[in-house]
Structure 1
């Protein structure tokens, strides 16, 4: 037996593939995306759905790691489906993959719990890279949408100035440090290095932040913190 518990000549076991559910009302696009992703050894497409209603059912049945979700679909849109999936399958991470570059859709998707918002202008080969990044804990936004998100932040701050301030949940100094680094786009590993703590400790802090703020995703926590003036985006 080898040092890692394998029998002599036995190949080391590979990690489980990332389980992906593809949701889009265009069958040709779904099929093309599935064909590309099936070429990736570390990704497995566990299902596809043509609308948000079917997506929720399939998410419950297949428990995917990642859901690639269109925004505009018949019967039930992607944003409403995102909220439902986050409630039914909290472990699923949802990435919007859409042609919509409207600020309202971006903000609503983040509020619903999406961890990514990518425009279909990206090459189909880049989708696999995005899946791995979000599965690893990162939040992704297409570059052309990032400036719109910052504009939305600025608008939220102006609105916050004009309304009475309500008490916000108290975050510890360390949790605020972690949240600021999340807002800068750092992943758990980089946050751990910068703060000289373990990745597991970072995960615990993020879980505590989300529980205190009653939110679902890292990106939503950043939006909330900016709106409540807990963070400043420069």
Structure 2
């Protein structure tokens, strides 16, 4: 690791974690790092207050805290200290925590079993504008974004439906059963069943509930 420029301003680091033992231990080791000034907060609200007061360069933020979660605190901290760079520190490797953190402004995501050198390195890297996510979590994040991009293209799938299938889909979304749909469209129940099966196949959906949700989301019920 390159030695920090002695003339540079010290990095202001805010450590937000409800576990006092972990928080104090991490402060102790990071305080020994040259060019870092560490401040503590014991939960999300106190972390937001501290960020508003001191405008830290980097915030080390626990994901799971009582009252206000880490992702919620991240969003609040970015609101009061927009220039702060946030690194989530957590024992959780669940995708939902990662996605929520990134959506709420986190620039880094490290597990709590990371080494002290990894944490201090992360602080310095995100302070220079880099993002830092451990490789396994980065792979999961990229896969989620890929799926999100795929879902964003779904509205065009409705164009594959015939006019009659669109009529059936709208009636399904309105809660009509097959007999009621058959009566309204003057077709047989078997024909309705065939239309529903074709709709599910074309839209790559698994049930009438998903079809109804799709129709509502894509505003197919709008006049």
Structure 2 equivalent of residue 30 of structure 1 = 23
Deviations, residues 109-143 of structure 1 (Å, cap 9, x unaligned): 11111111111121122211110000011000012
Count of matched residue positions in the alignment of Structure 1 and Structure 2: 153
Q: 2:134 aligns with which of 104, 121, 142?
A: 142
TM-score (ref. length: structure 1)? 0.62
- From the two aligned structures, give the one with the greater helix fraction: 2
Structure 2 equivalent of residue 81 of structure 1 = 73
Q: 1:115 aligns with which of 107, 115, 134?
A: 107
Unmatched 5+ residue regions in structure 2?
Answer: 157-223
Structure 1 equivalent of residue 83 of structure 2 = 91
Runs in 1 of length 4+ with deviation above 6 angstroms?
A: none
- The 8 Å contact of residues 82 and 112 in structure 1, kept in 2 or not, is answered as yes
Distance 1:84 1:44 in 2: 22
Unmatched 5+ residue regions in structure 1?
Answer: 1-11, 165-234
Distance 2:78 2:40 in 1: 17
CA RMSD of aligned residues (A): 1.7
Deviation at 1:13, TM superposition (A): 6.2
Structure 2 equivalent of residue 52 of structure 1 = 44
Distance 1:103 1:151 in 2: 10
Which entry has the higher C-alpha Rg, 1 or 2?
A: 2
- The 8 Å contact of residues 116 and 140 in structure 1, kept in 2 or not, is answered as yes
